[in-house]
Chain A
């Protein structure tokens, strides 16, 4: 009897976790964004060791093109990604103010560790540090939305190379 509240909470969370995917409301979105930016995402004070120059942008674009494009599109703005709007929360445009307002070190931390609750996975061990930092530089120099087309995996041309 003493454990009833705990059991009820567990049952409720199980029920909620099994719910169908719906877009989060404005209040939930605002709360989660604030929490991530100010509490849970570390790395604010860590500087990018790579120089902000054309070669680094190209390196970042290449690393992004091998790995991140499946969810973020070639341009980092979800172009051609069919499920981007249906995830909960939806895949954000990486050119948005919400994403761009993270510090470089925070973006690296997110790539490295992933971020919950969202579909963003941890890339630790999948990408090396240089690749992650170069991706951060690429994120600061994203091309105009749609300018790179869509990932070939979604256009029926998956035999091609997505790096352009």
Chain B
């Protein structure tokens, strides 16, 4: 009887942890990527808010790379990609295209503004 209770308790803990780990995004933001810009090129989110970024490439393969937010998501034309993140710190985070895509690749920039509580 004791063992059965322990098993149930462990199962409850595991399922709770899984639920917390796969937190549902509160908001989805669509970002289109093309040579040589992100659209929109600036987004604002709240600290602690779980956000899903839905990426669409309008031409060739790109990636959204925001090192300080731990984001590096490749997106190919015709294959939308998603990445979910929860910023733990307020501030401005700068991203770029992480996949070489042509002559203006180095100018591609996106800013994520994370507001405080």
Contact = CB atoms under 8 A, between A and B. Distances in A.
Nearest to B105: A126
B114 to A, nearest CB: 20
Interface residues of B, number: 11
Contact of A127 (B67, B99, B106): B106
Contacts of B97: 128
Interface string A59-79: 000010011000000000000
Binding site secondary structure of chain A = mixed
Contacts of B70: none
A156 interface: no
Interface string B96-117: 1101100111111000000000
Interface in A116-158: 123-128, 130-131
Contacts, number: 27
A126 B96 contact: no
A130 B96 contact: yes
Interface in B65-117: 67, 96-97, 99-100, 103-108
Contacts of A63: 100
A114 to B, nearest CB: 14
Contacts of B103: 125-126
Nearest to A65: B100
A125 B100 contact: no
B96 A66 contact: no
Contacts of B107: 125, 128
Top 6 A-B residue pairs of the complex, sorted by shortest distance between their CB atoms: A66-B100, A128-B106, A127-B106, A125-B106, A125-B107, A126-B106
Interface of A: 63, 66-67, 123-128, 130-131
Given A66-B99, A130-B67, 4 more contacts: A124-B106, A125-B103, A127-B106, A128-B108
20 contacts: A63-B100, A66-B99, A66-B100, A67-B100, A123-B106, A125-B103, A125-B104, A125-B106, A126-B103, A126-B104, A126-B105, A126-B106, A127-B100, A128-B96, A128-B105, A128-B106, A128-B107, A130-B67, A130-B96, A131-B106
